[in-house]
Amino acid sequence: MTIQGGRMFDGTTIQMLHVALDGLAMRQRVVADNIANVETPGFLAGRVQFEQELRAAIEKRESPAQVRPTVERSLEPTRINGNNVNLDQQVLTHMDTTLRYQMMLRILDGKYNGIRRVIGGQA
């Protein structure tokens, strides 16, 4: 394995991956909460935001470790009972988030495997 410019040990990349995993895990919990409350009168769907702030931190060359996901309540129109959870949308968000989470885990696993190979002398 070739290590170009020390990128194997790029702490920013690993921090970014950890922030993304935290945000995606929080999104999964919020989606589960939304689905569980699909029939609860007055319940407003939650949405997790972190990608835009993470992108901005990276573009400004700031530490991504300072980015924290936030949960906002949806202001989309509600049904007669005041609930605005769209089950189809939540299922799609769940599938998308699961795929993104798995991708981030694979990338992070690859980074750590590369570090293990270097430490073990199998570069």
Q: How far is CA 48 from CA 22, 26, 30, 81, in A?
A: 11, 7, 7, 24
- Determine the pLDDT at residue 115: 79
- The proportion of the chain whose per-residue pLDDT surpasses 70, expressed as a percent, equals 89
Buried b (16+ CB within 10 A) or exposed e, 99-113: ebbeebeebbeebee
Q: How confident is the model at residue 7 (pLDDT cuts 50, 70, 90)?
A: very low
Average pLDDT over residues 26-55: 97
Of 7, 71, 84, nearest in space to 39 by CA: 84
Average pLDDT over residues 41-47: 97
The model's pTM is 0.82
